[in-house]
Amino acid sequence: MKRFENKVVVITGGGSGMGKLSCEMFAAEGASVGVVDINEVTAQATVDNILAAGGRAKAYAMDITNEDAVKEMFADVVKTFGRLDVYFTIAGISPMGTAVTTTYEDYKRVVALDMDSVFLGCKYSIPYMEQQGGGVILNLVGTYGIRPTPNKLGYSAAKAGALAITRSVAIDFARSNIRCNAICPGFVNTPLNKGFEGEARARFLRTYQPAPFEIQAKDIADTALFLASDEARAITGQAIVVDGGTEASLYLNYKRPE
């Protein structure tokens, strides 16, 4: 039997990158998937791929910072598929800026998309999970939510807040059999990092990341599948770092021997 047979999974950012791959991998393991993305075309393309492979899926083109839209999406998922077992938040933005160079408008935008949307997703998914006796919430936080890096104030602040929400949900709803964990990728080769290529990427891998390979979207999706499965039933309230050892090392001082 597949790991997520008869389970229902909702994933934001499902139209591209690790979100798209995660949707397809959960579907391959038997899950019915709600594919959420701001882009209707890419969300539907992911759904089409899942349907073509014999799976079940439905697209939701929406703004995950819109409270009414989030509430209506979960209601429709449960109406369509009958339940809600896993909610995985991936969608987000990663702007540059310090406390001086970041505009207040940009700060509010990254907080809304990278932190407030996590709150809304938890708020409106948890009641359905409670009704059926449990569920799993996974939030993509990133290592900057643990240890900020220069010129990333808004993103680091929003992700730190998302991690705090994750831990609060874990302790508040553990007795309801709801687990909540954060996945914290380092540098991953996805569309979000487009532009960070060539020598800049090679220099990062040589200087800062101990593992001698590029982390791929599949590494993150594999982590999500494990954390959402019954094999991880004792893991909740944790920040699971998937970064090739970068956060654990002496950041900005580590250099791999040639």
In angstroms, the CA 187 to CA 74 distance is 31
| Residue 155 bears catalytic tag | yes
Query: Average pLDDT for residues 177-182, to the nearest whole number?
Result: 98
In angstroms, the CA 97 to CA 81 distance is 42
Task: Name the catalytic one among 155, 208, 251, 254.
Answer: 155
Tally of CB atoms within 10 A around 237: 17
Query: Average pLDDT for residues 194-209, to the nearest whole number?
Result: 68
pTM for this prediction: 0.92
The label of the residue with tokens 């990254």 reads: 110
Pairing mode of beta strands 56-61, 239-242: unpaired
Angle at 160 between CA 39 and CA 244, to 5 degrees: 80
> Domain 8-242 belongs to what topology?
Rossmann fold (3.40.50)
The structural domains of the chain, with segments of one domain joined by +, span: 8-242
Q: What mean pLDDT is reported for the chain?
A: 91
Burial of 196 by CB count in 10 Å (0-12 exposed, 13-18 middle, 19+ buried)?
A: exposed
Confidence band (pLDDT; 50, 70, 90) for 200? low
Please give the pLDDT value at position 193. 56
Q: Are 128 and 83 in contact (CB under 8 A)?
A: yes
- Tens of pLDDT, residues 124-164: 999 999 999 999 999 999 888 898 888 999 999 999 999 99
Please give the pLDDT value at position 147. 86
Report the Cα 166 to chain-centroid distance in Å.
Answer: 12
For residue 240, what are the β-bridge partners?
Answer: 183
Q: Please report, rounded to a whole number, the percentage of residues in the chain having pLDDT higher than 90.
A: 76
Residue scoring higher pLDDT (87 or 243): 87
Query: Average pLDDT for residues 173-196, to the nearest whole number?
Result: 82
Angle at 69 between CA 63 and CA 70, to 5 degrees: 90
Please give the pLDDT value at position 197. 58
